[in-house]
Structure 1
Amino acid sequence: MPAERKTGTRPQATGRVVDELRRMIVGGELLPGQQIRQESMAERLGVSRLPIREGLRQLAADGLVSHTPNAGYAVARLSRSEFDQVYLMRRLLETEVLLRLPEPDPERIGRVARINERVVQAAERPDIAAMRAHNHDFHFAVFRLGDLDLLIDQIERLWTWAAPYHAVYLFSEESRRAVLREHAEMIDALEQGDNRRLAEIMDRHRQGAEAQIGAVLESGSLAVPGPS
């Protein structure tokens, strides 16, 4: 195989590995603390172990997986204290971003509303993985109505750390209804240019997930499958 083909193929394979592993973690197929076997994952994804290893290194840098010498890679697991700190930092940063949003732009708010329609459609099916992905897009479309990109990048990192736990909240039909109701209230606050109300709704929205996921962490009832 020509050298240039090898060079071009490796990043492409690694990118696909990162996307697939991220999807499995965010979608709850791989749970916090679950070990990721490189050999079996390479066979599953139809690649060599090298892009698996490179992909795991990227995900470790993002905080989605952890590495233990002589043990390998596993989906990152948060302690209750770490989880509480993630949500504390989220509240501080997200509130600051929302309070500083500019005057409403109907075209950009319309885009936020269209993304929320995808959240609604996923909730109605229900498709939890799709709902989580569109929910992420909805929130970051709201955050990026402003220009505090450095803060938003840090918020995204915090979301990534907690991502493996988010499906726990959305499995409840009542929780999904609350998400949709609060999203609609957020869009209304955006249209009114009422940033303080928007931040208050976001606090309530965040607290619902925080309370339910925190209770799961406290009880230790998030089961992790044994090695495959």
Structure 2
Amino acid sequence: MAKSTSDAGSVRWAVARIREMITVMELLPGQQIRQEDMASRLSVSRAPVREALGILQSEGVLDYQRNVGYSVKRLTVQDLEQAYLMRRVLEREVISALPELTAEQLDELEDINVRIKQAGDDADVLTIQRLNNDFHFYIFRTSGLDLIVDELRRIWSLTEAYRSVYLYEAEARERIVHEHASIVDALRRGDRAAVVELSDQHRSQVPSRLAAVFPGERRPPARVAEEG
């Protein structure tokens, strides 16, 4: 039987809230998520939470083990290196296929970057993460390579819990805005080679930052949720 609009809305809201908790590190990699506790935390019934967890598991954001339940996906450093290698390969293809962007499209990218700066000034990591995704996928979608872009979306989701680590540093937030501006300038010139190079430099910040955060470790530490 089809879900009611309110039920579907509750599921979407639960997905968004759990994703936010992961982004701002309220839920950490490896942390177990109990349906009853999460339903209480979100003030909803268990049904939308159960569906939301299933959706996030299908996207690779969560893991599921029978008789154990759901937990935030925990990646090794090797996993992250592979994810960023896949991003590099696919994003280069997408950027190479970009058409010449219109003045209106370029203005929209600049507007997104202005909002990222404003969020950065407020140290609003959640908004920065969302707008950063908007910035890059606005560019990717203009390529017309929808299947590849959908795969990129999946890969980005896999690393959601890790990509926000460097956003807590003011210097990193300023660097993001500066690098986005350089990418827009290259797009305005129609210089795809420069966009590829700038994007490679921009993307490389996260793996190198994680190596600094977890020196000598091949797996980030996890935290188990407290019993509710």
State the TM-score, normalized to the length of structure 1. 0.92
Shift of 1:112: 1.1
Q: Deviations over 1:34-85 (max 9, x none)?
A: 1111111111112221221111111100111110111110011111221111
Matching residue of 2:226: 227
Aligned to 1:85: 82
Is the counterpart of residue 64 in structure 1 residue 61 in structure 2? Answer: yes
Find 2:50's aligned residue among 36, 49, 53. Answer: 53
TM-score, normalized by length of structure 2?
0.92
State the shift of 1:141 in Å: 0.9
Letter in 2 for 1:26: T
Distance in 1 separating the partners of 2:27 and 2:58: 18
Question: Which of 179, 183, 208 is residue 182 of structure 1 equivalent to?
Answer: 179
Q: Deviations over 1:115-159 (max 9, x none)?
A: 111111101112111111111101111112221111111111110
Counterpart selection for 1:22 from 19, 36, 43 = 19
In structure 1, the residue matched to 2:97 is 100
Change (3 A) 1:104 1:18: closer
Report the counterpart of residue 141 of structure 2 in structure 1: 144
The structure in which a higher percent of residues are helix is 1
- Cα root mean square deviation, aligned: 1.8
- 1:41 and 2:38 are equivalent in the alignment: yes
- Aligned partners of 2:101 and 2:187 also within 8 Å: yes
Aligned length: 225
Instruction: Measure, in 1, the Cα distance between the counterparts of 2:101 and 2:52.
Output: 40
Counterpart check, 1:32 vs 2:29 = yes
Secondary structure class of the residue paired with 1:29:
coil
Match status 1:111 vs 2:145: no
What per-residue deviation string (whole Å, max 9, x for no partner) do you get for residues 76-112 of structure 1?
1111221111000000000111111112311111111
1:154 has 2:151 as partner: yes
Q: Which runs of 4+ in 1 moved over 6 A?
A: none
